[in-house]
């Protein structure tokens, strides 16, 4: 379960893989609706409209994050393409975003 900047907001993944969310940032809501929210491996939500998602297949998508973090992500992946997260990528994400939850 992830809590959102909005105190009423949340993102929940059940043990069957189903995802439920409420009052998430606008662009994240649009992204989750487009992708179905399924198959998420990691989700991190920051202040405002900042968020990063990583799917189990390695697709990394982000919005509103600081440019230095976006550049770190670009150094290990090429934009919004499917890659398998390596332990090095996971370690760097956790270092840069200690509030990240890995599923």
Q: Is the pTM of this model over 0.75?
A: no
Residue 1: both structure tokens together: 């379960």
- Taking the C-alpha atoms of residue 70 and residue 61, their distance in angstroms, rounded to an integer, is 10
Residue 84 pLDDT greater than 70, yes or no: no
- Taking the C-alpha atoms of residue 47 and residue 63, their distance in angstroms, rounded to an integer, is 11
Residue 90: both structure tokens together: 């996971």
pLDDT class for 101, splitting at 50, 70, 90? low
What is residue 80's predicted lDDT score, i.e. its pLDDT?
46
Pairwise pLDDT comparison (84 vs 89), residue with the higher score: 89
| H/E segment holding residue 40 | strand 40-45
What is residue 82's predicted lDDT score, i.e. its pLDDT?
42
- Taking the C-alpha atoms of residue 41 and residue 39, their distance in angstroms, rounded to an integer, is 6
């Amino acid at each position: 379960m992830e809590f959102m900047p909005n105190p009423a907001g949340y993102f929940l993944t059940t043990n069957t893989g189903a995802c439920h969310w409420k009052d998430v940032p606008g662009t994240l809501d649009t992204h989750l609706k487009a992708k179905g929210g399924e198959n998420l491996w990691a989700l991190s939500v920051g202040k405002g409209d900042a968020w990063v998602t990583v799917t189990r297949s390695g697709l990394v998508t982000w919005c509103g994050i600081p440019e230095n973090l976006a550049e770190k992500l670009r150094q290990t992946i090429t934009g919004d393409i499917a890659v398998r997260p390596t332990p090095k990528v996971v370690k760097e994400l956790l270092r840069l975003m200690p509030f990240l939850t890995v599923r």
